[in-house]
């Protein structure tokens, strides 16, 4: 519980809770500017080729249709570039710029009409004839092109991790495990669909759009449309979920802007759920071969970890699976190798714990195999392999309480009552019970940031910070920090995030949002105190302080870079580019850590797997917002359960595209699936090396390790080691 400097408790509720549950909170697509027109896409229904003929006459004849934009009517937009290639977009490919079809579902026409009904009707009447080409849709498809990442993208942070001589040492180990793990395509599926509402006010383009990256949307649109970034305003105070799907410029936004300019009317575009499966990033296919070697006492000596990950033809989405795999334990000999497989899809990208969730499934399942092979308790084995030093850099971790997470979790879960033999714990009705454990880690990145704080004569405070609210609670974390620091009520504080009319806005992703925004806000509060001439600590009578200075509002602005981060990163930030530091800082490496303990119950006849109990203990540094932090972990656990037992996007191997493109056929856990009692605890020790407030990230680490904990519990219950997700009933027959 945070208290103010006066000792009063700061309320833990989300500051936007009431607005959310009453529907008062307005999201991007809730905007209906006067005269707004509605847009809809027609999409390609072949996986690869070119448009031989496009017939839009029937579409144009639908009453109320104002415009049908195609590559033939030349929207005149450029690519916004690929976010992992120095650009702004989720992919470099920009639809409607030529006749090429690079993936099923690529937009071929944008229809704009007076009503949504007319736009949808007309979009369905766009007729295309294609010259199709052979496509490659999975890792083993003929024509899929496999590249060694270290050669294809020669950047230091994407190089293979090599420590010692893993291949030789592996062969000498008393205990050896060699397993292959497969993970499916998955889609983020935030409740809020991808959308934009665009409007020209004179020469200024105003964009209302739920995004994690208003700075990239602004600068990317300027590039695409050939205008000055100062002519673009992106306003995104709240996104209705994002999870990486909204981490960059979407290629449809510029098309809506072109339509709005041609028609001189505001335009709203909301993609359908089906289109969201094809028009934005997703978690790509990946295959993981893990070889682990340990001595007879279960001490890990060597690991070889080789991954193939899907990417698109037009972009290389980099893989970083080896990053946490080489750091979960103190393995002295490690060799990683990551390959990228070019296939005919839109460019995949970041989806919550993008590489860490699959890596943890592979590594932590294999560690469980080592534990069984060596006859050692899985918790004891993990504790025996703990390390205070980063095996990759030789530097210390800035903080690492993984062992404490494991010990405390084992205690809360009652792990000592576990009987180790697979199939040895059964309920009276024959239900098989299994207990599994796994750890997780996530890099503690930091981005360059700017914050502004302003006090009015009445003592109310407005704080602007780089960051986006997508439900994770960054606004609540900032309000609580300001309230506690100045000793003022939370309802006198306004926080502005996700708005390019304020301070520069950085991509909010990779669990660095709060850890990047809070330190610079804390700096701004210190600066504000100096400016107001009040003591550096303790409660402040803000109205009195402003009055003493003459009554005019007082405003300060501060900037902050991470340890070792060059000052030019602030320029990158201002240009809407990713300006990232860590997890390797000059003196230390920083990660968040977690341990999950899971109980599964498997019905004897139906083989239905249910998770009945979870204990998760996380080390995310200091917990600044207990309510939202606990919700993050609970949500991460729920997501992890879904990712293990439910979620997979099915690829159509013949005609391309994804098949189960609705929430009916793409099952995510619902309340009825979640009988589990999910118990969440935090270590709550500040990481004072990393930043002043001592905070690390939490959003993604919360789901890292859930999948292997469930799979290890399934093994304990049944003796079946399932190495492919999701785990299905037929795997357990
Ligand atoms: Mo995230 S998957 O970095 O938004």
CATH classification of the domain holding 594: 3.30.365.10
State the closest ligand 1 atom to the C-alpha of 511, by its place in the atom list counted from 1: 3
**Token pair for residue 730?**
């037929």
What does the pLDDT look like over 354-385, one tens digit per residue?
999 999 999 999 999 999 999 999 999 999 99
What does the pLDDT look like over 654-677, one tens digit per residue?
889 999 999 999 999 988 887 778
State the closest ligand 1 atom to the C-alpha of 246, by its place in the atom list counted from 1: 4
Residues of the chain with pLDDT below 70 are 1-8
Identify whether residues 394 and 436 lie together within a single domain.
Answer: yes
CA–CA separation, 316 and 318 (whole Å): 6
In a domain, 140, yes or no: no
At residue 695's C-alpha, the angle toward residues 689 and 696, to 5°, is: 90
Among 264, 279, 294, give the residue marking a domain's end.
279
Identify whether residues 430 and 502 lie together within a single domain.
Answer: no
**Token pair for residue 575?**
């240009």
463-493: burial string, b at 16+ Cβ within 10 Å, e else: bbbbbbbbbbbbbbbbbbbbbbbbbbebebb
Identify whether residues 361 and 325 lie together within a single domain.
Answer: yes
In a domain, 139, yes or no: no
pLDDT in the model for residue 8: 58
Identify whether residues 396 and 449 lie together within a single domain.
Answer: no
> How many angstroms does the Cα of residue 317 sit away from the middle of ligand 1?
14
Probe target for ligand 1 pocket from 192, 244, 468, with the most ligand atoms within 8 Å of CB: 244
Among 581, 603, 625, give the residue marking a domain's end.
581
> How many angstroms does the Cα of residue 512 sit away from the middle of ligand 1?
9
In a domain, 546, yes or no: yes
Q: Does an H or E element contain 111, and which?
A: strand 107-113
In a domain, 138, yes or no: no
In a domain, 436, yes or no: yes
CB distance 244 to ligand 1 below 6 Å: yes
Q: What is the pTM of this model?
A: 0.97
Identify whether residues 294 and 393 lie together within a single domain.
Answer: yes
Among 551, 581, 611, give the residue marking a domain's end.
581
Select from 697, 711, 714, 725 the least CA-distant residue to 633: 697
> How many angstroms does the Cα of residue 580 sit away from the middle of ligand 1?
14
**Token pair for residue 501?**
């009319």
**3-class DSSP state for residue 16?**
coil
**Token pair for residue 589?**
């490496």
Probe target for ligand 1 pocket from 510, 639, 702, with the most ligand atoms within 8 Å of CB: 510
pLDDT in the model for residue 367: 98
> How many angstroms does the Cα of residue 354 sit away from the middle of ligand 1?
7
- How many folded domains does the chain comprise? 3
CB distance 716 to ligand 1 below 6 Å: no
Probe target for ligand 1 pocket from 84, 192, 319, 352, with the most ligand atoms within 8 Å of CB: 352
> How many angstroms does the Cα of residue 68 sit away from the middle of ligand 1?
34
Cβ(496)–Cβ(465) below 8 Å: yes
Which domain covers residue 88, as residue numbers? 31-133+191-242+246-279
State the closest ligand 1 atom to the C-alpha of 354, by its place in the atom list counted from 1: 2
What does the pLDDT look like over 80-133, one tens digit per residue?
999 999 999 999 999 999 999 999 999 999 999 999 999 999 999 999 999 999
Identify whether residues 97 and 206 lie together within a single domain.
Answer: yes
Identify whether residues 155 and 291 lie together within a single domain.
Answer: yes
CA–CA separation, 325 and 162 (whole Å): 12
Peptide bond connecting 726 to the previous residue in cis, omega within 30 degrees of 0: yes
Taking CA atoms, 432 is separated from 291, 369, 380, 410, in Å, by: 29, 20, 24, 21
Identify whether residues 36 and 12 lie together within a single domain.
Answer: no
pLDDT in the model for residue 1: 40
In a domain, 215, yes or no: yes
> How many angstroms does the Cα of residue 726 sit away from the middle of ligand 1?
21
**In terms of C-beta density within 10 A (0-12 exposed, 13-18 middle, 19 or more buried), how is residue 156 classed?**
exposed
Identify whether residues 575 and 696 lie together within a single domain.
Answer: no
Identify whether residues 344 and 304 lie together within a single domain.
Answer: yes
Could you tell me the CATH number of the domain that includes residue 54?
3.90.1170.50
Select from 410, 345, 337 the least CA-distant residue to 380: 410
Probe target for ligand 1 pocket from 186, 192, 247, with the most ligand atoms within 8 Å of CB: 247
Identify whether residues 455 and 424 lie together within a single domain.
Answer: no
Identify whether residues 494 and 513 lie together within a single domain.
Answer: yes
DSSP classification of residue 624: S
Q: Nearest C-alpha to atom 4 of ligand 1 is from which residue? A: 244
116-147: burial string, b at 16+ Cβ within 10 Å, e else: eebbbbbbebbebebeeeebbbebeeeebeee
In a domain, 155, yes or no: yes
């Amino acid at each position: 519980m945070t208290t103010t400097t006066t000792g009063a408790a700061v309320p833990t509720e989300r500051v936007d809770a009431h607005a959310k549950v009453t529907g008062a909170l307005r999201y991007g697509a809730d905007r209906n500017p006067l005269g707004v027109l509605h847009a809809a896409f027609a999409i390609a229904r072949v996986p690869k080729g070119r448009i031989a003929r496009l017939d839009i006459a029937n579409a144009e004849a639908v009453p109320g249709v104002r415009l049908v934009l195609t590559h033939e009517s030349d929207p005149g937009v450029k690519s916004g570039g690929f976010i992992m290639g120095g650009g702004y977009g989720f992919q470099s490919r920009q639809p409607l710029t030529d006749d090429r079809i690079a993936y099923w579902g690529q937009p071929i026409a944008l229809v704009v009409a007076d009503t949504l009904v007319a736009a949808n009707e007309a979009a369905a009447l766009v007729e295309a004839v294609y010259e199709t080409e052979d496509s490659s849709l999975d890792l083993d498809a003929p024509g899929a092109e496999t590249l060694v990442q270290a050669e294809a993208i020669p950047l230091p942070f994407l190089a293979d991790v090599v420590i010692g001589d893993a291949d030789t040492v592996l062969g000498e180990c008393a205990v050896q495990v060699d397993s292959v793990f497969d993970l499916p395509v998955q889609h983020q599926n935030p409740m809020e669909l991808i959308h934009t509402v665009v409007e020209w006010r004179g020469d200024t383009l105003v964009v209302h759009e739920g995004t994690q990256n208003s700075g990239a949307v602004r600068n990317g649109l300027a590039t695409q449309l050939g205008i000055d970034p100062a002519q673009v305003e992106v306003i995104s105070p709240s996104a209705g979920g994002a999870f990486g799907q909204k981490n960059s410029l979407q290629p449809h936004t510029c098309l809506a802007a072109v339509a709005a300019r041609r028609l001189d009317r505001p335009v709203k575009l909301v993609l359908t759920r089906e289109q969201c499966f094809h028009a934005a990033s997703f978690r790509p296919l990946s295959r993981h071969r893990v070889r682990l070697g340990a001595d007879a006492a279960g001490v890990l000596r060597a690991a070889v970890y080789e991954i193939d990950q899907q990417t698109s033809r037009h972009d290389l989405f980099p893989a970083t699976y080896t990053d946490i795999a080489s750091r979960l334990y103190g393995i002295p000999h490690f060799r990683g190798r990551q390959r990228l497989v070019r296939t005919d899809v839109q460019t995949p990208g970041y989806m919550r714990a993008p590489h860490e969730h699959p890596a943890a499934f592979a590594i932590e399942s294999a560690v469980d195999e080592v534990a069984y092979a060596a006859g050692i308790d899985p918790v004891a084995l993990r504790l025996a392999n703990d390390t205070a030093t980063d095996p990759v850099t030789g530097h210390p971790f800035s903080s690492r309480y993984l062992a404490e997470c494991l010990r405390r979790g084992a205690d809360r879960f009652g792990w000592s009552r576990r009987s180790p033999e697979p199939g040895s714990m059964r309920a009276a009705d024959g239900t098989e019970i299994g207990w599994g454990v796994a750890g997780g880690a996530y890099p503690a990145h930091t981005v360059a940031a700017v914050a502004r704080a302003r006090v009015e004569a009445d003592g109310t405070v407005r704080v602007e910070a780089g960051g986006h609210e997508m439900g994770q609670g960054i606004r609540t974390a900032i309000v609580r920090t300001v309230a506690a620091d100045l000793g003022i009520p939370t309802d006198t504080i306004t926080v502005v995030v996700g708005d390019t009319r304020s301070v520069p806005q950085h991509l909010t992703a990779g669990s660095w949002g709060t850890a990047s925004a809070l330190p610079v806000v804390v700096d701004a509060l210190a600066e504000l105190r100096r400016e107001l001439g009040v003591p550096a600590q303790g409660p402040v009578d803000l109205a009195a302080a402003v009055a003493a200075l003459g009554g005019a509002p007082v405003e300060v602005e501060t900037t902050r870079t991470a340890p070792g981060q060059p000052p030019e990163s602030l320029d990158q930030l201002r240009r809407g580019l990713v300006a990232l530091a860590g997890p390797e800082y000059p003196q230390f490496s920083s990660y968040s850590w977690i341990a999950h303990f899971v109980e599964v119950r498997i019905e004897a006849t139906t083989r239905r797997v249910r998770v009945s109990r979870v204990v998760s203990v996380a080390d995310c540094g200091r917990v600044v917002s207990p309510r939202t932090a606990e919700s993050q972990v609970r949500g991460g656990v729920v997501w992890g359960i879904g990712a293990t037992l439910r979620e997979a996007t099915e690829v159509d191997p013949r005609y391309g595209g994804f098949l189960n493109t609705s929430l009916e056929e793409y099952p995510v856990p619902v309340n009825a699936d979640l009988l589990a009692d999910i118990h969440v605890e935090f270590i709550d020790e500040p990481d004072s090396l990393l930043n002043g407030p001592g905070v690390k990230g939490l959003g993604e680490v919360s789901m890292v390790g859930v999948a292997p904990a469930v799979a290890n519990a399934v093994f304990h219950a049944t003796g079946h080691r399932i190495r492919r997700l999701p785990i299905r009933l037929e795997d357990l027959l």
